[in-house]
Each structure stands twice: as structure tokens, then as C-alpha cells.
Structure 1
């Protein structure tokens, strides 16, 4: 039995707690921690948890009865908490984004390697049937070389969203919609199509004048082979439609699922290619459904890895790569220049202090509240 502690009892913590409860044959929650212990007590009471309550994660790091820690705190705290627990022999599952800077990511990965422990970064939208099936289709290369990718990470958040004390600031949230919402789709895009070599981006704040950070960004990514990807990150899109479209030389596939294949007439105009469409559809349909989806799917993956049954799907190296691409978007939009990847350790955007000194500040944060009520939140992932 794997014993679990959860650090942070804000909105996303319930997704972790409910997942661990669903997987109770393999794990049990033994502790909740929050700087506002009344929040931890409230969620424990709501979900009928018999757990220890703490207001300081450091009181838990030396406990021998804790094997795995879920870090559900604001992004600027992720590195310190993860490194401390890894150094005390605990496995760590950290919420997205992995950290506030590439330097922090490197410290976390070094601690995981040094202590031979698992570090996984939440990317729950990978753990869905449509995404897993699309990845299998792309791996066949039936579409031919990918020439264009479209990532629409559309979310909507009201003005008051950024009133919460840690949101809407570069120092504590680490960024806006690109980092904290589109991170899901940027991770999946990078997982499926690899890292680009250059990034050109624009960010803006169109509807949230109580936040320093962006609420809309558009990035153009170029690969060495000349192919292009466009990434739109937003918290101003009503309806929150989200999609990834991969245009290959011979066919198009996407989530939500759609396949379309064309071939050329003598004059260069298109005609349908039903044979290729059928071949691709058969690959998609032949993939088995995964046992668990979303946070539950990723937590099950981590539990299997702890038990030595498989390698973890989303490790800290991949989490760092996703943050590197996001950091390149911020660098390009802040400095108004094309950015080449990879970003080196002497880059001004490598450290948290460097980021804070160079990013674009849109507005001053004008309102601060300690807590919202326990309202339901949206986490995306409805791709069917």
C-alpha cells in the first residue's frame, strides 16, 4: 500500500483526492497540508477523510509513513516543496506548471535523479482515449510528414479569477494563460510532434486589468524541416473549445477526432483519398481504451511506476521541455524577437529572477482575496 500526502487543498486538490480514493486498493491518503488548515479540514470533512492535518509541509518531510506526495500549491512553491520531499526519499507528483523557471526545473530533476525517486508532472489531458489514440495514429506516419499543426487552447475565466492572492502575478503564478492553462495542450503538442527550433510570439491582456500577466497569446513555432505550428492560448474564449489539428502531407488528423485525406488530380486540385482515410481510421479504432482517464489515469500511471511495473509516462524531463517552450514564448513576446531553442543556462529567462526582470507586465494587480468558496472548476479534456 502506497501512503500519500497532499500539499495544498485548493481547487485542484479534490481531483487528486478523488483519484486516490478511486484507486484505494493501491494507495491511501494519510495527510493533508495547507497554509490555511481550515481549508484542509473542510475538504477532509467533505470527503470523509481520516487524515492528519498540517499547516507546514516541512512537518511531513521526515515521516517514514509517506511514500508519495501530490504538490497542489501555487507554482512559485513547487520547486522548494518537491526538492525537499525528494531529498527525504519521497516520490513526487507535482501539478502543472512544473515550476516558475527552468533553473527550478533543473533543481527538481537533479533531486529526483540523485535520490532515485519518481518525479512526475501533471498532464492529465494526455490520459484520455482521444489523445492516446491520436498519438498512436501519428506514430504510424500514415499522414506523411507533418507540415502544419494548430493548437487552440481556448478557456474562459472571469475578471474575479485573478483576485485570488497568488494569481495574476509573475512572482507567484509565474505567468498567465500560456503557462497555467495552455500548458496542457503545449505539453501534448510537444509530446506528439517534438520541440520546434524557433518561436515567435505575441502576448496581450484584453479583459483582465487586475492582472500583471497575459490572458491571450499567439505563438508561431518553426521546425528545422520548415514545418510550422501555431499555438493560441486564451482565457477569453467563450465555450472553451479546444483542439489539436495535425496536417500531414497526405492526411489530416485531430482531436476532437477527424480524419481527412486528399490526393492530387493532374491539375493539382484535391480529390478525396478514401483508402488512406480508412487505413488511418482502422488504426484509431484498433486502439484499446485506457483503464482510467484524467488525473486518475495519471495517478494510476505513477502508482504503477512506483511499484516497478512501468516507466512513468510524464517525467520531470518532459515537464521541463514543456516549460522551456512556454518560456520561449514569453521571451519572444517580451523582447519582440524570434527566439531559438534550446534556451541555455546563461539566458536571462533561465532563472526566476531573470524572468521577473524581463517579462512584460500588463497591469497592476489591484485586488487580493485569500480564498474563494469551494466552487467546481473546469479542467478541460472533453475531446470526444
Structure 2
């Protein structure tokens, strides 16, 4: 039996708790920690689980019965917590984004190597039928080389969203919509398409003058073969429609699922390539559905890793790639220059201090509330 501890009881923690309880024969939640212990008590009561309650994570480090820790705290705490629990011999599942800087990512991955334990970064949108099937179709190469990718990470958040005490600041949230919302789609993008050679970006704050960070960014990524990708990150799009579109030389596929293939007439104009469309559609329909989706599927993946059945799909190196792309977007949009990848310690945005010093501050944070009475959230995946 794998014993689990939950650190942080914000809205996303409930997704972890519900997922772990799907596997009651494999794991058991034994502890919940929050700097506001009354929130931890309320979380345990809401989910009807008997656990030990903590207000300081350090009190949990020496518990030999804890095998796995889910870290559901604000991003600026991820590195400190992950490193501490890895050094204490615990497996770690940490919420996105992995950390506040690439330096912290590298320190987390070093701690993982030294401990030999699993470090996995939450990327629950990979673990959906739509995304898994699209990845499988791309891997067939039936589309030909990818020439253009379109990533629309469209979300909407009201003005009060950034009133929460840790949101809307570079110090505590680490960034705006690019880091904390589009992280889902940027992760999927590099998983499916690989890492680009360079990034050019611009960012703005159009609707939230109670936040230092951006609420809209647009990035152009270029690959060595000339392929281009555009990534729009937003919390100002009504409807929250989200999509990833891959244009190959032979055909186009996307989430939401759509396939279109063209071939050239004698004069260069297009005509439908029905044979290729049918082949792609048939390949898609032959793919089986996952046993689980979202957080439940990723937690199943992590439990299987701990049980020695497989490696985890999203480890710390995959998590770093996601933050590397996001960091490149921030560096480019703040400096007005194209940023070449990969990024290392020579980047002015490599450290948390470098991000705080060099990132564009659009406004000063105005309001600070400890928590909201309404805890319901949207977690993406509106692919219609």
C-alpha cells in the first residue's frame, strides 16, 4: 500500500484527493498539510477521510510511512518542497508549473537523481483520450512533416481572480496566463512537436490592472527545418475555447478532432485527398480509449511507476522543457528580442531573481484576499 500526503488544500487539491481515492486498493491518504490548518481540516471533512493534519510540512519529512507527496501549493514553493521531500526519500508529484525558474527545475532534477525517487509534474491534459489519440496519429507520420502549428490556450478570468494573495505577482505566482494557464497546452505542444530553435513573443495586460503579470501573450516559435508555430496564451477570451492544430505537408489534424487532407491540381490549387483523409480517420477510430483521464490517469501513471511497472510519462525533464519554453516567451516579450533555445544559466531569466528583475511589471498588485468562499474552478479541456 502506497501512503500519500497532500501539501496545500487549494482548489486543485480536491482533484488529487478524488483521484487517489479511485485507487483505494493501491494507495491511502494519511496526511494533509496547509499553512492554514483549518483549511486542511475542512478538506478532510469534505472528502470524508481520516488523516493527520499539519500546518508545517517539515513535521512530515521524518515520517517513514509516507511514500508519495502531492504538492498542490503556489508555484513559488514547488522547488523547496519537492527538494525537501525527495531528499527525505519520498516520491513527489508536483502541480504545474514545475517551479518559478529554470534554476529551480535543475535543482529539483538533481535532487531526484540523488534520491532515486520519482519526480513527476502534473500535466493532466496529456492524459485525455483526445490528446493521446492525436499524439498517436502524429506519430504515424501520415501527415508528412509539420509545417505550422497553432496553439490557442484561451481562458477567461474575472478581475477579482488576481485578488487572491499569491496571484498576480512575479514573486509568488511566477508569471501570468502563459505560465499558469497555457502551461497545459505548451506542455502538450512540445510533447507532440518537439522543442523549437527560437522564440519571438509579445505580452500585454489588457484587463487586470490589479496584477503585475500578463493576461495575454502571443509567441512565434521557429524550428530548424523552417516550420513555424504560434502560441496564444490568454485569460481574456470568453468561452475558453482551446485547440491545437497541426498542419502537415499532406494533411491537417487537430484537437478538437478534425482531419483535412489536400492534394494539388495541375495548376497548384487544392483538391480533397479523400484517400488520405479516410486513412487518417480509420487510424484514429482504431485507437482505444484510456481507462482513466485527467488527474486520475496521471496518478495511476505515478502509482504504476512507484510499483515498478513503468516509467512515468511526465518526469522532471519534461516539466523543465515546458518551463523553458515559457521562460523564453517571457524573456523575448520583456527584452523585445528573439530568444534562442536551449536556455541555460547564461539567460537573464534563468534564476528566480533574474525573472523578478527583468520581467515586465504591467501594474502593481492592489488587493490581497486570503481565500475565496467559492472554490469551484475550470481546468481546461474545453475542446469543442
TM-score bracket for this pair, using the shorter chain length: over 0.9
Residue 218 of structure 1 aligns to a residue whose secondary structure is strand
Structure 2 residue aligned with 1:187 = 187
Structure 1 residue aligned with 2:233 = 233
1:91-170 correspondence to structure 2 within 5 Å: 91-170=91-170
- Matches of 2:61 and 2:7, distance apart in 1: 11
- Matches of 1:190 and 1:342, distance apart in 2: 13
Residue 329 of structure 2 aligns to a residue whose secondary structure is helix
Residue 134 of structure 1 deviates from its aligned partner by 0.3
Structure 1 residue aligned with 2:212 = 212
The yes-or-no answer on 1:10 pairing with 2:42 is no
Residue 374 of structure 1 deviates from its aligned partner by 4.3
Residue 125 of structure 2 aligns to a residue whose secondary structure is helix
- Matches of 2:345 and 2:25, distance apart in 1: 43
Structure 2 residue aligned with 1:83 = 83
Moved over 3 A (4+): none
Describe the superposition over 1:320-363 as per-residue Cα deviations: whole angstroms up to 9, x where unpaired: 01100000000000000101001121221100001110000000
Describe the superposition over 1:213-258 as per-residue Cα deviations: whole angstroms up to 9, x where unpaired: 0000000000000000000000000000000000000000000000
Structure 1 residue aligned with 2:368 = 368
Instruction: Check conservation: 1:212, 1:364, Cα contact below 8 A.
Output: yes
- Matches of 2:126 and 2:321, distance apart in 1: 15
Structure 1 residue aligned with 2:351 = 351
- Matches of 1:283 and 1:63, distance apart in 2: 49
Instruction: Choose 21-30 or 152-161, whichever is displaced more.
Output: 21-30
- Matches of 2:375 and 2:93, distance apart in 1: 24
1:275-294 correspondence to structure 2 within 5 Å: 275-294=275-294
Instruction: Check conservation: 1:163, 1:368, Cα contact below 8 A.
Output: yes
Structure 1 residue aligned with 2:32 = 32
Instruction: Check conservation: 2:7, 2:72, Cα contact below 8 A.
Output: yes
- Matches of 1:111 and 1:120, distance apart in 2: 13
- Matches of 1:176 and 1:12, distance apart in 2: 17
Describe the superposition over 1:3-49 as per-residue Cα deviations: whole angstroms up to 9, x where unpaired: 00000000110000000111111111000000001111111111111
Instruction: Check conservation: 1:200, 1:219, Cα contact below 8 A.
Output: yes
Instruction: Check conservation: 2:240, 2:382, Cα contact below 8 A.
Output: no
Structure 1 residue aligned with 2:171 = 171
Describe the superposition over 1:164-221 as per-residue Cα deviations: whole angstroms up to 9, x where unpaired: 0000000000000000000000000000000000100000000000000000000000
- Matches of 2:25 and 2:275, distance apart in 1: 46
Instruction: Check conservation: 1:11, 1:374, Cα contact below 8 A.
Output: no
Q: What TM-score does the superposition give when structure 1 sets the normalisation length?
A: 0.99
- Matches of 1:25 and 1:5, distance apart in 2: 16
Structure 2 residue aligned with 1:326 = 326
Instruction: Check conservation: 2:5, 2:30, Cα contact below 8 A.
Output: yes
Q: What TM-score does the superposition give when structure 2 sets the normalisation length?
A: 0.99
Instruction: Check conservation: 2:4, 2:69, Cα contact below 8 A.
Output: yes
Residue 53 of structure 2 aligns to a residue whose secondary structure is strand
- Matches of 1:119 and 1:260, distance apart in 2: 39
- Matches of 2:305 and 2:382, distance apart in 1: 26
Describe the superposition over 1:95-153 as per-residue Cα deviations: whole angstroms up to 9, x where unpaired: 00000000000000000111100000000000000100000000010000000000000
Residue 262 of structure 1 aligns to a residue whose secondary structure is strand
- Matches of 2:327 and 2:337, distance apart in 1: 13
Aligned-residue Cα RMSD (Å) equals: 0.7
Structure 2 residue aligned with 1:309 = 309
Residue 383 of structure 1 deviates from its aligned partner by 2.9
Residue 382 of structure 1 deviates from its aligned partner by 3.3
Structure 2 residue aligned with 1:382 = 382
Residue 326 of structure 1 aligns to a residue whose secondary structure is helix
Structure 2, unpaired ranges of 5+ = none
